[in-house]
Structure 1
Amino acid sequence: MKIITRFAPSPTGYLHIGGARTALFNALFARANGGEFKLRIEDTDRARSTDETVQAIVDGLSWLGLDWDGETVSQFARADRHREIVDTLIENGAAFRCYCTAEETEALREQAFAEGRALRSPWRDRAPSEAPADTPFVVRFRASDTDTVIEDAVQGQVRWGAKEFDDLVLLRGDGNPTYNLAVVVDDHDMGVTHIIRGDDHLVNAGRQAQIYNALNWDIPVFAHIPLIHGPDGKKLSKRHGALGVEAYRDMGYLPEGLRNYLLRLGWSKGDQEYFTDAEMIEAFDLKGLGKAPARLDFDKMSSVNAWHMKRAEDTRLTDLLWDRLECREDVRLDDQAKVWVSSAMKVLKERAATLAELDDQTYFLIRPRPIELTGKAAKALKDDAKALLSRLAEVLRDTPDWTEAALGEVLNAFAEAEEVGFGKVGQPLRAALTGGAPAPDMSFVLAVLGREEVLDRLNDVMD
């Protein structure tokens, strides 16, 4: 059997972090088994489903690196097919037209609730000919009179009593299909074999299983995963970080870092925390999915992302960083500045967990001149410190070997010659060259900036 999975979001304007995890699990399971991963947009809510909201989902998946197979399916565009299946269900007695008014339906619902059961329409046993002419109607599914059982790959066997399911509306009064009908028809027609989704859909699985059985269609393998919770154990909300993936992109996470973090958010393989994409595909299976809700942990997310930052290519990180910097006005973004950042990347990426932190780490390189000195940086550059830097500038101007190792020796020798501790040299030098911004060892800073820029920055201070 060829494995086919799908991700079927409703367009809400962004790809929610929980939806991103669901998409990842479905994509990995398909790839791990040589199958296909498909995308369907459940866009039947026309008020919310605009070109912009659909594009936001597509853009989120694309940034996250989750490629799907074939064309994107629109659920709304398949409404005629859904109505066709409703006709089939009516013909085989599994569905019926219900002519109850809204008031009658509400009264029946209240009565059913009082009796501890789900709603049953009186029209399930009445002929349509009994309805007055031109009476509006909905089409309902004839709920099973026996227990409904599914075998879930995560939750195990799940059973519902017959009284727990009502006569589900399949077609509304305006002729539009409802969610549970459309999902069953679309998944069947797309050949979906496995459905991995949040356990908030578990009851829907029971309803959908009844529709599958009524049509004599094979029921896909269900795997209902617990939803993501916030750090406090409560349902994830915006205050916890229930944001779209573009928000995590803007916070400076790499797509591979977020993929790795989401993988471990409800799935495990021994004690392994860090995965390359190839390792994810090789390792992923349904057995690793847990029953307990996972908690969003930004510290862990940063730790995982830091691992991927260290593995990322320097040129790629430089380009990604440059895209972030181009919206800033307080940095130097000419070709020379990019050369400095690129040459320093191998070291700087070891000090940053995200691109946002990398932004901070590279600021000393691309600060516009003259560097504004405030706070501790300004205090470090008193007259005696400036005189010392003036003498250091003369030494640096004549230093033949401009490498990090050689420059480290020069700075140490200069401190000894001045008969001061290295801090007396390093502190004002750091202030002059970086303005107090985070930076590695001064010998590294000197080596990356180059002789000309170092002397120019020192002259700025002394002038």
Structure 2
Amino acid sequence: MTQVRTRFAPSPTGFIHLGNIRSALYPWAFARSTGGTFVLRIEDTDLERSSQAAVDVILEGMRWLGLDHDEGPFYQMQRMARYKEVLAQMQAEGLVYPCYMSVAELDALRDRQMASKEKPRYDGTWRPEPGKVLPPVPEGVRPVLRFRNPPDGVVAWDDKVKGRIEIRNDELDDLVIARPDGTPTYNFCVVVDDIDMAITHVIRGDDHVNNTPRQINIFRALGKEPPVYAHLPTVLNEQGEKMSKRNGAKPVTQYRDEGFLPDAMVNYLARLGWSHGDDEIFSRAQFLEWFDLDHLGRSAAQFDEAKLRWVNAQHLKAMADEALAPLVAEQLQRQGIEADERLGAICGLFKDRCDTTVALAGWARAFYADVQPSEADRAQYLTDAVRPAVADLARRLESAAWDKASIAAAIKETLAAHGLKMPALAMPVRVLVMGTPQTPSLDAVLALFTRKKVVEKLSSF
């Protein structure tokens, strides 16, 4: 069997969002699951709209998600000499021809066709045929080069998502493959790239389905067999529209900044168009072990932020505390807070309550910065009635050994001495120390603070 070679070929004309990156995830996973090669190619021929900033976000987003490429990135603008070489070869073989029809003439042709309810298409005016007399070449007009599409028969392929697709060749007109200034066009460059890079499987969005028959005909004209195609259904946003920057999609890197984990994003994205039975939560290793092209979904997938947060929360809970700590430290650093060796234990105590590392950093903040309770919590929990018990607990903690068991014993003694139930004392202590009445087990929380800080906070009441 030929070694699998896949590619991700984004255009750097806007930032990369989740809908785009899924078109990188599946070819990456297919290459990894089959021991193949994953190629990154930047299709930057749209000079007006392409930008280095967009390239940077593509590379950064892929790096964050761990979608490592084996070859590339290759840039189409750096391959112009190669495209022109193939164009010259096609001209020599009569596979392309110059067309001098102006834009105004093309527009007039299209208007006439639409007026008579025909499909607008180039009519082959300049296509050379035996016995055909071509119009006189107009002076001072630089021609485009058109590909001589087969006039009859069908172009067909077995799409790994959509099944058998057949298009009649007489439905396709002769595609422009080089502009008047000689620069090649998208559909032509893609074919040359896929041939040169020996791509075996093209896994891409179904907005490319209409390009595929044209590309297949160019492959065959160049004496090459086309790759296997899998056209993925669109990813919709929460409003059911196609995910796009215009419709409020966020750059992939923003999810990193918002505290999502790369493995959770890979898990969530994998399920947006592929499934392994009813498995919802899985590791990257399981995904690569299970992934194939036979279980790609046929219908459009809809993004759901609540579901993404739930998936992220599951990964957060399962992650080792010491692996989580540097990610939370990064979030704290953004707030100007330096963490210490307690952070791993803090993550362990609070991670079950969180769906992102930002939320986890919110809890950790209380251990490193001064937090103030709300006026409502002060009024509700910091009453005169509980003041003596809080002062008594502060005295006991001053002399207790500083560990969870000794702190628990001091709390228990204070409750007994003042005839209180746990919530009556625990809530005000939490509000004073953590700034909130809801936390995990009080003894575990206090043990992670310094004695000095706890006694200071309790004595301030």
> How high is the TM-score relative to the length of structure 1?
0.92
Partner in structure 2 of residue 380 of structure 1: 381
Q: Which residue of 2 aligns with 1:361?
A: 363
Deviations 1:30-84 (A, max 9, x none): 0111110010000111223333221221111111111101231011111121122
User: The residue matched to 1:56 in structure 2 has which SS?
Assistant: helix
Report whether the alignment pairs 1:208 with 2:241: no
Return the alpha-carbon distance in structure 2 between the equivalents of residues 84 and 438 of structure 1.
70
**Alpha carbons of 1:14 and 1:348: their partners in 2 closer, same or farther (altered >3 Å)?**
same
* Structure 1 contact 22–196 (Cα < 8 Å) conserved: yes
Letter matched to residue 158 of structure 2: E
Query: How far apart are residue 391 of structure 1 and its match?
Result: 1.1
Q: Percent identity?
A: 37
Partner SS, residue 81 of structure 1: helix
Is it true that 1:122 corresponds to 2:138 in the alignment?
no
> Could you tell me which residue of structure 2 aligns to residue 136 of structure 1?
142
Instruction: Determine if contact 1:378/1:431 at 8 Å carries over to the other structure.
Output: no
Aligned mates of 1:437, 1:20 — CA distance in 2:
41
Partner of 1:443: 443
State the AA in 1 paired with 2:216. Answer: A
The structural deviation recorded for 1:206 is 1.2
Question: What SS does the corresponding residue of 2:281 show, helix, strand or coil?
Answer: coil
TM-score, reference length from structure 2:
0.93
Cα offsets for 1:378-399 (capped at 9, x unmatched): 5422333333211111122222
Seen in structure 2, the aligned counterparts of structure 1 residues 239 and 367 have a Cα distance that, compared at 3 Å, is farther
Q: Indicate conservation of the 8 Å contact 1:361/1:438, yes or no.
A: no
1:334-358 Cα offsets, whole Å, 9 max, x none, are 4xx5233332211212221111221
* Structure 2 match to 1:431: 431
Residue aligned with 1:38, SS: strand
Are the counterparts in 1 of residues 125 and 134 from structure 2 also a CA contact under 8 Å?
A: no
SS of the residue 1:274 aligns to: coil
**Who is 1:308 aligned against?**
315
Report deviation, 1:305: 1.2
1:38 has 2:42 as partner: no
Letter in 2 for 1:348: F
- Aligned counterparts of 2:60 and 2:435: Cα–Cα separation in 1: 39
CA distance in structure 2 between the aligned counterparts of 1:164 and 1:20, rounded to whole angstroms: 32
Residue 135 of structure 1 and its aligned partner are, at CA, apart by 2.7
Structure 1 position 338 matched with structure 2 position 345 = no
- Relative distance call for 1:275 and 1:341 in structure 2 (3 A) is same
1:162 aligns with 169
| 8 Å Cα contact 1:341-1:365 kept in structure 2 | no
Of 242, 260, 281, the residue aligned with 2:288 is: 281
For the pair 1:298 / 2:290, whether they are aligned, the reply is no
The answer as to 2:257 corresponding to 1:243 is no
1:258 to 265, 287, 292: 265
Q: Residue 122 of structure 2 aligns to which amino acid in structure 1?
A: L
Report the RMSD for the aligned CA atoms in angstroms. Answer: 2.1
User: What amino acid does structure 2 have at the position aligned with 1:47?
Assistant: E
Instruction: Report the Cα distance in structure 1 between the residues aligned to 2:239 and 2:335, rounded to whole angstroms.
Output: 35
Matched-pair contact (CA < 8 Å) for 2:5–2:37: yes
* Alpha-carbon distance, 1:441 to partner: 1.9
Counterparts of 1:402-413 in structure 2, within 5 Å, are 402-413=402-413
What CA distance in whole angstroms lies between the structure 2 residues aligned with 1:230 and 1:249? 19
CA contact (8 A) 1:352 1:361 kept: no
**Counterpart residue type for residue 365 of structure 1:** F
Letter in 2 for 1:121: G
Q: What's the secondary structure of 1:195's corresponding residue?
A: strand
Alpha-carbon distance in 2 for matches of 1:358, 1:238: 29
Structure 2: give runs of 5+ residues left out of the alignment: none
Q: Gapped runs of 5+ residues in structure 1?
A: none
Looking at structure 2, the residues matched to 102 and 412 of structure 1 have their Cα atoms a distance apart, in angstroms, of: 87
Aligned length: 454
1:175 paired with 2:182, answer yes
Structure 1 segment 90-129 matched on structure 2, within 5 A: 90-113=91-114, 114=116, 116-117=118-119, 118-125=121-128
